[in-house]
Each structure stands twice: as structure tokens, then as C-alpha cells.
Amino acid sequence: MKIEHIAIWTKNLEEMKDFYTRVFNGTANEKYVNPKKQFESYFIQFESGARLELMRRPDVAEGSGENEGYAHMAVSLGSREKVDEMTRRLKEEGIRIAGEPRVTGDGYYESVIQDPDGNLVELTV
């Protein structure tokens, strides 16, 4: 099985697109707009083939039930050194670090950052 993509509702579509393309070297498609539904989205394609869909629609409010259940997503960077380096760099850029690099109870080496909407992103090996 391969997860094709993960989707996140956001009120800050452009800021989120810029964050995921800059921080994780993703490539965004042209913005999709459905004027009838007032829906806009971007797909961000990553080198591994994974994709992230960022979506905005004015009638989808936080806590509405349509976006509940998201816990986090994890991005594998390949080494502890890369986790440490990216965490340090993002902290210097002012990105909120929700968890410093560490070995978790189940043996993962990771740190946790927050995207502009506060969604958790694990940086792991």
C-alpha cells in the first residue's frame, strides 16, 4: 500500500503552500479554484512521490467536524544529523518547535515542528 496524499484544511492557503514548498522542497501545482463551491486547493509534490493537498473553503471552520482527526504527519529526512540540522535551521527562522530532537519510547529519532496553522509535523529518520 502507498498513501497517495494527505489533505489539510487551511484558512491560510498561500502561507501554507509557501511553507511546505520552502521547508520540504515541495513543488506546488497551479492553484485549483472551483468558484461555485468557493473551493481552492494546491497539491504539493515531494521528491519521494508523496503529495499533500492544501484546501480552503470559507464554510469549513475549524472544529466543524470536517477537519477533526488530524494528529500529525511525519517526514523522513534520512539521518539524525539531518533532523538536528533542519530543526536548528527552522528554529532560527522562527518556526515553532513543538518537540526538540529525541529518541521516542518506540525507538524513533524525531523532532516536531508546527506549520503556520499549528499542525504538527514530525521530522524523523
Q: Which three cell numbers stand for residue 117?
A: 496553522
Yes or no: domain 1-70 corresponds to CATH 3.40.50.11540: no
Average pLDDT, the chain: 91
C-alpha 123/C-alpha 1 separation (Å) is 22
* 111 and 87 Cβ atoms separated by less than 8 Å: yes
Check residue 69 and give its pLDDT: 62
Check residue 1 and give its pLDDT: 60
Check residue 60 and give its pLDDT: 83
CATH architecture, domain 71-125 = Roll (3.10)
pLDDT digits (tens, 9 = 90+) for 101-115: 999 988 889 999 999
Comparing 42-46, 47-51, 65-69, which segment has the lowest mean pLDDT? 65-69
Domain with CATH 3.10.180.10 in the chain: 1-70, 71-125
